[in-house]
């Protein structure tokens, strides 16, 4: 700092003028008439005037300097820094109030004890401060040292000082400035510590980490990378990564950095480095500037060679285990399949747990009960079939639990869905692998079929007796018809002669005509009865289906009248000629007519007869308005011995025999029925032109 005194132009000119006048007078007095004393007088006067002026000017300058000093103090007092001034002798000239905020000591304390400026400096930093003060240059270097405040706290000070000189270079003292940089120093220390910790962490990462620029040059690496490449960290800085790792002049095809610099996104790739003989999992992430532009990348390479080898070994082991498991599984599956097949093809089987829950059933069991597995599994066994021994000590499960080797029961009652079953049930213990009793396995032997066969045999026996009775009746009726036929012929002959030769009144003649007609009707009935009971001839002949129908209607007319049953005909306009065994077809027609008659019963109704020619077939429909047939019975209507009638009314052979006769003639017989609306039987026979010439009998 320089201090200068400013002299104005008027002052300099006045001094110059007085001096010039004095010299002039001195010169004139020497050459003319003035006396030397007069010149001295004038010189003294001029000197006094100049002295007075100079004194006044110096006072003015001192006032201005004091004013400037006050202005400096005002500025320094308001400064946030701790300012002070040392005079040339080193005495403290001024110290700003900020010293108290920073050091805890007031300005008066420093003014009273100037040594306090150095004694509060920490001893280790004091010599450094003194060396700093001894510097004589005008540079403004700063010094950082520590002080101990009045409260005993250690604070960091950033010190700056400068020598102060005037315009002529005279030394006027030293100005110093102290700034509290404790917080800044602590922040810097934290940054340094964090940086060191980051570097330690960076080097402690077990993976290879590199910071790269967009030209793939290495900007920073950790210790692991240097160890991998067997180089020092400094030697690798600035080198190209793919040259150091892959010894290539260009990036490899699967380098993830190419994708990163293309789209700015993170990428991951598994890479084999041939130079190192290792597998690495490479992860690259972008580095960006303040504008979001990608300036480089973080390249992390994790050595996964051991994992890959372990994975290969694991795959080999897994493959071997899978083969063994597959082989063992195949054996188990085969064994299970064998057991499953045995289980499924065996008798109806059910596995029941020790708490009476059905655990498993086979298909034969489901067929036996007519239900699905989902309807059975999980249910209680006594809900499916309930025998007389259920819910008691004689229960098969309880007996097996108590040690019985097996239990056999016979059931003849109702089971699930009201189905009646007759069977024997044999139960054996069901144990786990440790031999613990966990339930029972029961097999069902169906006795229903045997019972049905026995019932059927009994029915057949009764039917045979009925057939024998019918045969006896047939033989008797044939014999009676023969005995009736002879007297009838005589009666008819007498009536015919009376009608021709006798002289009769009109009424008598009408009575004779009636007697002849009734006699002829009796003759036809006797003839039809003989034909019906006569064994079939088995000979094929041509006949009109209409005539066969009418000859069979005669046998049911009386029953129709008695039960109030109407007969309607809808015949084809032309004769329907078929070529068949006539008496067999008549037997079929009569059987169908009787069935229609019985279906209507006493309620009254109608039987409709309809014929038609269908291309190569003759069709006969016999329809009734009876009770109809249930849908469940329609599929069995042509089975032998199946009947919906009581045993006293039918044998169950009529429709089956009729079905066989029609089939033997290459024809068909069908049935359509609705319960409550009636039934229609549809008989189709080949016309004579297309009939098979073989013997249907």
> In this structure, what CATH number is given to the domain that contains residue 141?
3.30.450.20
Cross-strand bridge partners of residue 636: none
Give the neighbor-by-neighbor strand order of the sheet with 420-431: 358-361, 349-353, 437-446, 420-431, 407-414
Residue 139 belongs to domain spanning = 79-187
Half-sphere exposure of 459 (CA within 13 A, CB side): 17
Give the mean pLDDT of 214-224.
89
Residues 680 and 545 in one domain: yes
Q: Is 618 helix (H, G, I), strand (E, B) or coil?
A: strand
| Both structure tokens of 612 | 């038609």
Is residue 200 a part of any domain in this protein? Answer: no
Give the mean pLDDT of 164-192.
82
Domains identified in the chain, total number: 6
Residues 430 and 298 in one domain: no
Over 70: is that where the pLDDT of 294 sits?
yes
Give the mean pLDDT of 237-241.
90
Question: Looking at residue 689, what DSSP letter applies?
Answer: T
Residues 370 and 382 in one domain: yes
Least confident of 337-346, 664-673, 680-689: 337-346
Which among 240, 273, 303 is the end of a domain?
Answer: 303
Cross-strand bridge partners of residue 409: 425
When the pLDDT of each residue in the chain is averaged and rounded to a whole number, the result is 79
Least confident of 121-125, 313-317, 409-413: 409-413
Q: How far apart are CA 595 and CA 601, in angstroms?
A: 10
Give the mean pLDDT of 229-238.
88
Give the mean pLDDT of 445-468.
70
pLDDT tens profile 396-446: 888 888 888 888 887 776 555 556 777 888 889 988 888 899 999 888 887
Residues 674 and 569 in one domain: yes
Over 70: is that where the pLDDT of 2 sits?
no
Residues 441 and 454 in one domain: no
Where residue 142 falls (left for φ over 0; alpha for ψ -120 to 50; beta otherwise) is beta
Q: Is 462 helix (H, G, I), strand (E, B) or coil?
A: helix
Over 70: is that where the pLDDT of 665 sits?
yes
pLDDT of residue 266: 92
| Both structure tokens of 453 | 């066969």
Residue carrying structure tokens 């006094």: 48
Question: Looking at residue 217, what DSSP letter applies?
Answer: B
Residues 593 and 627 in one domain: yes
pLDDT of residue 527: 67
Give the mean pLDDT of 15-20.
58
pLDDT of residue 695: 44
Is residue 69 a part of any domain in this protein? Answer: no
Quote the pTM value. 0.33
Of the candidates 600, 588, 611, 609, the residue with the CA atom closest to the CA atom of residue 560: 600
Q: How far apart are CA 325 and CA 471, in angstroms?
A: 76
Over 80: is that where the pLDDT of 303 sits?
yes
Domain containing residue 575: CATH number: 3.30.565.10
pLDDT tens profile 266-280: 999 988 888 888 999
- Top mean-pLDDT range of 72-81, 463-472, 611-620: 611-620
Is residue 395 a part of any domain in this protein? Answer: yes
Of the candidates 640, 663, 638, 662, the residue with the CA atom closest to the CA atom of residue 653: 640
* Residue 689 burial (10 A CB sphere; 0-12, 13-18, 19+): exposed
Residues 494 and 581 in one domain: no
Is residue 70 a part of any domain in this protein? Answer: no
pLDDT band at 137 (very low <50, low <70, confident <90, very high): low
pLDDT band at 132 (very low <50, low <70, confident <90, very high): confident
Q: Which residue has the higher pLDDT, 26 or 194?
A: 194
Is residue 181 a part of any domain in this protein? Answer: yes
pLDDT tens profile 602-627: 888 999 999 999 888 999 999 999 88
Question: Looking at residue 171, what DSSP letter applies?
Answer: E
Residues 576 and 665 in one domain: yes
DSSP string, 573-591: SS--EEEE-HHHHHHHHHH
Over 80: is that where the pLDDT of 460 sits?
no
pLDDT of residue 691: 42
Residues 293 and 160 in one domain: no
Q: How far apart are CA 185 and CA 178, in angstroms?
A: 14
Is residue 331 a part of any domain in this protein? Answer: no
Over 50: is that where the pLDDT of 1 sits?
no
Domain containing residue 529: CATH number: 1.10.287
Residues 173 and 211 in one domain: no
Which among 187, 214, 238 is the end of a domain?
Answer: 187
Sign of CA dihedral 518, 523, 528, 530: positive
DSSP string, 33-98: S--HHHHHHHHHHHHHHHHHHHHHHHHHHHHHHHHHHHHHHHHHHH-SSEEEEE-TTS-EEEE-TH
Over 80: is that where the pLDDT of 170 sits?
no
Give the mean pLDDT of 619-640.
85
Over 80: is that where the pLDDT of 378 sits?
yes
Q: Which residue has the higher pLDDT, 379 or 38?
A: 379
Is residue 19 a part of any domain in this protein? Answer: yes
Of the candidates 314, 282, 310, the residue with the CA atom closest to the CA atom of residue 298: 282
Residues 408 and 442 in one domain: yes
Start-to-end Cα distance in the chain: 154
Q: Which residue has the higher pLDDT, 473 or 541?
A: 541
Q: How far apart are CA 120 and CA 147, in angstroms?
A: 5
Q: Which residue has the higher pLDDT, 45 or 352?
A: 352
Q: How far apart are CA 167 and CA 96, in angstroms?
A: 26
Give the mean pLDDT of 100-108.
90
Give the mean pLDDT of 87-109.
87
Q: Is 675 helix (H, G, I), strand (E, B) or coil?
A: coil
pLDDT band at 7 (very low <50, low <70, confident <90, very high): very low
Q: Percentage of the chain surpassing pLDDT 90? A: 16
pLDDT tens profile 537-562: 568 889 999 999 998 888 888 888 88
Hey, how many other C-beta atoms are within 10 angstroms of the C-beta on 237?
Answer: 12
Residues 642 and 551 in one domain: yes
Which among 276, 303, 330 is the end of a domain?
Answer: 303
Over 50: is that where the pLDDT of 690 sits?
no
- Top mean-pLDDT range of 52-61, 373-382, 605-614: 605-614
Hey, how many other C-beta atoms are within 10 angstroms of the C-beta on 60?
Answer: 10
Give the mean pLDDT of 308-324.
88
Give the mean pLDDT of 157-162.
88
Over 70: is that where the pLDDT of 158 sits?
yes
Q: Which residue has the higher pLDDT, 405 or 697?
A: 405
Is residue 174 a part of any domain in this protein? Answer: yes
Of the candidates 100, 93, 95, 71, the residue with the CA atom closest to the CA atom of residue 83: 95
Least confident of 339-348, 645-654, 671-680: 645-654
Give the mean pLDDT of 213-238.
88
């Amino acid at each position: 700092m320089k201090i200068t005194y400013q002299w104005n132009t008027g002052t300099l000119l006045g001094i110059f003028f007085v001096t010039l006048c004095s010299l002039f007078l001195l010169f004139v007095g020497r050459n003319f008439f003035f006396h030397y004393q007069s010149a001295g007088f004038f010189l003294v006067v001029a000197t006094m005037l100049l002295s007075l002026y100079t004194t006044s000017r110096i006072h003015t300058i001192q006032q201005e300097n004091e004013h400037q000093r006050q202005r400096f103090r005002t500025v320094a007092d308001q400064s946030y820094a701790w300012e002070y001034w040392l005079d040339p002798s080193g005495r403290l000239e001024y110290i700003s109030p900020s010293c108290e905020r920073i050091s805890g000591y007031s300005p008066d304390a420093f003014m009273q004890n100037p040594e306090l400026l150095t004694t509060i400096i920490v001893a280790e930093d004091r010599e450094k401060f003194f060396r700093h003060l001894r510097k004589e240059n005008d540079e403004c270097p700063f010094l950082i040292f520590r002080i101990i405040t009045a409260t005993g706290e250690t604070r960091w000070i950033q010190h700056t000082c400068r020598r102060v000189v005037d315009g002529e270079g005279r030394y006027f003292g030293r100005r110093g400035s102290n700034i509290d940089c404790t917080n800044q120093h602590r922040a810097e220390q934290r940054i340094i510590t964090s940086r060191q910790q980051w570097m330690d962490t960076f080097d402690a990462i077990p993976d290879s980490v590199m910071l790269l620029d967009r030209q793939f040059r290495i900007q920073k690496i950790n210790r692991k990378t240097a160890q991998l490449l067997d180089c020092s960290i400094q030697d690798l800085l600035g080198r190209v990564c793919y040259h150091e790792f892959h010894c290539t002049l260009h990036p490899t095809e699967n380098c993830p950095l190419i994708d990163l610099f293309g789209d700015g996104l993170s990428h991951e790739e598994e890479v084999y480095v041939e130079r190192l003989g290792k597998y690495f999992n490479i992860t690259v992430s972008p580095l960006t500037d303040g504008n979001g532009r990608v300036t480089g990348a973080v390249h992390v390479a994790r050595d996964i060679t051991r994992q890959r080898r372990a994975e290969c070994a694991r795959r080999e082991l897994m493959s071997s285990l899978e083969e063994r498991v597959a082989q063992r599984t195949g054996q188990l599956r085969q064994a299970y399949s064998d057991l499953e097949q045995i289980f499924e093809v065996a008798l109806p089987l059910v596995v029941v747990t020790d708490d009476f829950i059905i655990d498993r059933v086979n298909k034969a069991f489901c067929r036996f009960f007519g239900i699905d597995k989902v309807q059975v599994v999980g249910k209680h066994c006594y809900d499916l079939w309930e025998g007389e021994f259920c819910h008691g000590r004689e229960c098969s499960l309880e007996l097996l639990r108590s040690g019985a080797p097996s239990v056999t029961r016979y059931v003849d009652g109702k089971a699930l869905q009201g189905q009646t079953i007759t069977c024997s049930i044999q139960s054996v213990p069901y144990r786990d692998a440790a031999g613990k009793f966990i339930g029972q396995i029961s097999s069902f032997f169906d006795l229903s079929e045997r019972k049905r066969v026995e019932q059927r045999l009994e029915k057949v026996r009764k039917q045979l007796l009925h057939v024998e009775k019918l045969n006896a009746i047939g033989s008797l009726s044939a014999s009676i018809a023969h005995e009736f036929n002879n007297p009838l012929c005589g009666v008819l002959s007498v009536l015919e002669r009376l009608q021709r030769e006798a002289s009769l009144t009109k009424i008598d003649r009408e009575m004779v005509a009636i007697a002849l007609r009734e006699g002829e009707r009796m003759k036809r009935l006797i003839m039809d009865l003989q034909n019906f009971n006569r064994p079939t001839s088995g000979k094929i002949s041509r006949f009109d289906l209409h005539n066969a129908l009418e000859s069979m209607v005669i046998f049911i007319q009386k029953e129709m009248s008695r039960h109030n049953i109407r007969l309607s005909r809808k015949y084809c306009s032309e004769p329907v000629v078929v070529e068949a065994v006539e008496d067999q077809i008549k037997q079929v027609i009569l059987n169908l007519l009787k069935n229609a008659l019985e279906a209507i019963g006493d309620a009254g109704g109608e039987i409709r007869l309809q014929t038609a020619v269908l291309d190569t077939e003759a069709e006969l429909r016999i329809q009734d308005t009876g009770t109809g047939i249930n849908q469940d019975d329609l599929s069995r209507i042509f089975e032998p011995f199946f009947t919906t009638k009581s045993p006293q009314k039918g044998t169950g052979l009529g429709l089956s025999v009729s079905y066989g006769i029609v089939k033997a003639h290459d024809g068909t017989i069908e049935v359509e029925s609705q319960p409550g609306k009636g039934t229609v039987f549809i008989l189709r026979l080949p016309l004579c032109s297309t009939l098979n010439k073989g013997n249907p009998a």
